[in-house]
Each structure stands twice: as C-alpha cells, then as structure tokens.
Amino acid sequence: MPEKHRYKFCFGPWNISEGQDPYGPPVRPPRAFEWKLAQLKKLGFDAMMFHDDDAVPDLDSKSESQIRKETKELRKKLDGEGIAAEMVAPRLWFAPQTVDGAYTSNDAKHRQYAIKRSLRSIDIANILGTDILVLWLAREGSYIRESKNARRCVDYLVNAFDKMLTHDKNIRLAIEPKPNEPMDHAYLPTIGHALAVAQLTRDPKRVGCLIESAHAILAGLDPADEIDFAMAFYKLWSLHLNDQNGLKFDQDKPFGSNNLRAAFNQVRALERNGYGQRGEYVCFDVHPFRTTKVEHWLAHLDNSRRTFLKLVEKARSFNEMKAQQLIADRNYQDLDQMVIEHLMGK
C-alpha cells in the first residue's frame, strides 16, 4: 500500500471483556490491567483509552493526592512501554450517585458529584498527557419523559461543560452521542445535537465529538455521513469504529462485521477528510463475542484493524475517475455495481 498516511490505533481495557451480559455471568476470567497493556503492545497498537477508574481503580474512595500519585505511576508505566493515553472519560454511569442521571440528575447533590468527578478526570487526563475528555452521556436522558424537564437538562449539560472548560483552558470535550441504552431516550442522541449544544457553551471551539459507528446506526443514521458532518466543522476528535446489526442491543461487533459497504464508506469519509493528520487516533470500541474462547480473546481487535487497513487500500484504489463519469451520466445503477465489484475484488 502506498504510505500515504499511516493511521494510529487504540482501544480501551474494557475492550478485552469477559463476556458478561444481562442474562449470564462472565465466560472469560478477568485479567489485570498490566496484562491488557502487554496485549495492546503485542498487537502493535499505539495508544490506550481510559475511563477515569481504569486509570485509578476505586477512585471515589481515594484522596486527591493518592489519585495523583497513582496516575503518575500509570503515566510512567505507559511511557516505559511507549504507549500514549488517547483520552480519559469519566465513568458516570456506575456510581450510586448517578442512578437518576449524572449532569442531569434531578438531585442537585448528584449533579455536583458528576461535575466534580469530571473535573478530576480532567486532572487525570493532564497527568496522562492527553487533552481529550470523552463524554459518553450514558444516563443523560429519561425512561419516563415526565420525570425530567428536558429544557432544563440542556441548561444542566451546558453548565457542566462550562465548568470543565473553565477548570482547564486546554481541555477539549469530545461528546460521544448515543440515542438510547441504557436510557429510553438520550438528550444528545446524534452528532448534530452534540455540535449544536457546543455552541451554547462558553468556548464552542473546545467542544467537539466522537463518533461511534454503532451509536450512529442505532440512531438510524449512516456513520459515514456523521463523519463527513462532524469533519465539516473540524470537530471529529476521536472515533469508535465497530459494527451493529440493526436496531437491537448495543453489539460492538468487529469493524465491518455486519455491513462491509458501510464500513468502506466510513473509511472513505475518513480518507477524504484527512482524519488522523492532526494526531487523531482510530479506536476500536469492539467486544469479543460471548462465545469467544480465551485463546482467541484478542482476535476482534486485530481483525478490526485488519479490516480497516484493507478498506483503506480499497478506498485508495477505488476508480474515482470512472465513478465521476458514472455520476456525471447519472448512472448510479452502474456506480452501485462498481462499488460492489470493487469490494468483492472481482
């Protein structure tokens, strides 16, 4: 492949998961963080993503100085391995204080908890050497519409984002929208919502987004169009590639596993917008199938990257001239077939 542009890859410790689902227990034994880091290194990935409590386990029970100390130790470990921290994300959906939402909880004390924890995540990000705070707004939405005031919740979200932007003048917030699950309806379900709310904050240029393929599909959208949209604003700062078979539970399948053509179009959108050339990483937010044996535990990560790289080749070898001729002739019938045959490698 012509070395046009080399992508950098990453995943998170949660992507080497144990297979638990709401209907059954884990099927693979839990492994320590050190083991996961060693696997990441072995696979030749460049960076790791972190939830705040991936970086510092049980952080709610620790003092600020203890958290700082442990984060510094982690930084040293990562530096020693030559692995970067791509982002930090406050895990705001696990704590008892976030049962009814985090920034949009009806309880003021709980909203404070969420903000405080986010500011602490920014401090962790600083020590780990990343300026990206990812916000997957898992519980910002409602099960019962009448239980919350959605208009007020927009104000709560903006207030929380403003506190983060004030806390650190360099931090960039990457909102990761998802339309549902765990909530019935989320307040920021799409990239359009994320970028619109950015405009209400005190520093819109530091509020951007992260696209996860499966989340876009769950919103009934095409992830490739979401990529083009976000990149028209220069606001796609991180990316969770994976796949999803229609409107069902969040599957986090390997990239391209369900719809190869949609994956091809995501790669084309990334290529035409120069994703990665400003230091952005390609992250795979994928999980092993529950049936995966321990000895095949990393295949979904390696396979996702292989598919991605093959699709980069496909995007770069696509006959653009021929495609333009077909477009000029409005011969979308043959354009359609041309894409299919290109992907099949006829």
> Quick check: is 54 catalytic?
yes
- 29, two tokens: 């034994």
Distance CA 318, CA 32 (A): 43
Nearest distance, CB of residue 200 and ligand XLS, angstroms: 22
CA-wise closest residue to 72 among 130, 131, 127, 133: 127
Residues in 145-174 at the binding interface with ligand XLS, rule: CB under 6 A: none
123 near ligand XLS (CB under 6 A)? no
342 binds, among ligand XLS, Mg ion, none (CB under 5 to 8 A by kind): none
Hey, is 175 helix, strand or coil?
Answer: strand
Pseudo-torsion of CA 163, 279, 85, 293, nearest 10°? Answer: 120
The pair of three-digit structure tokens given for residue 345, joined into one six-digit string: 């490698």
CA distance 205 to 173: 10
Whose tokens are 């099960």? That residue is 143
Interface residue with Mg ion among 54, 212, 226, 228 (CB under 5 A) is 212
The verdict on 176 binding ligand XLS (CB under 6 A) reads yes
Do 263 and 307 contact (CB within 8 A), yes or no? yes
What does 186 interact with, of Mg ion, ligand XLS, none (CB < 5 to 8 A by kind)? Answer: none
C-alpha Rg value of the chain to the nearest Å = 20
Min separation Cβ 102 and Mg ion, Å: 16
Return the residue of 285, 288, 300, 308 that touches Mg ion, per CB under 5 A.
285
Site for Mg ion in 226-265 (CB under 5 A): 240
**Rounded Cα–Cα distance for residues 293 and 238 (Å):** 30
Residue 268 binds what, of ligand XLS, Mg ion, none (CB under 5 to 8 Å, by partner type)? Answer: none
Query: Active-site residue among 52, 53, 54, 250?
Result: 54
Residues 6+ apart with CB under 8 A from 300: 15, 254, 284, 286, 287, 288, 289, 292
89 binds ligand XLS (CB under 6 A): yes
We find the least distance from the C-beta atom of residue 6 to ligand XLS, in angstroms, to be 24
User: Which one from 51, 193, 215, 342 is the annotated catalytic residue?
Assistant: 51
- By CB under 6 A, the residues from 207 to 246 that bind ligand XLS are 212, 240
Residues 6+ apart with CB under 8 A from 267: 308, 311, 312, 314, 315
Contact at 8 Å (CB) between 224 and 238? no
**Total binding residues for ligand XLS by CB under 6 A?**
9
Piece of the chain touching Mg ion by CB under 5 A; list 139-147, 206-214, 291-299, 325-333: 206-214
Nearest CB to ligand XLS, comparing residues 110 and 240: 240
Rounded to a whole number of angstroms, the minimum distance from the CB of residue 212 to ligand XLS is: 5
Which amino acid is it at 167?
Answer: H
Instruction: Please confirm, yes or no, whether 250 is among the known catalytic residues.
Output: no
284: which 2 tokens? 């795979």
Residues assigned a catalytic role? 51, 54
Contact positions toward ligand XLS, by CB under 6 A?
51, 89, 134, 136, 176, 212, 240, 250, 285
Contact positions toward Mg ion, by CB under 5 A?
212, 240, 285
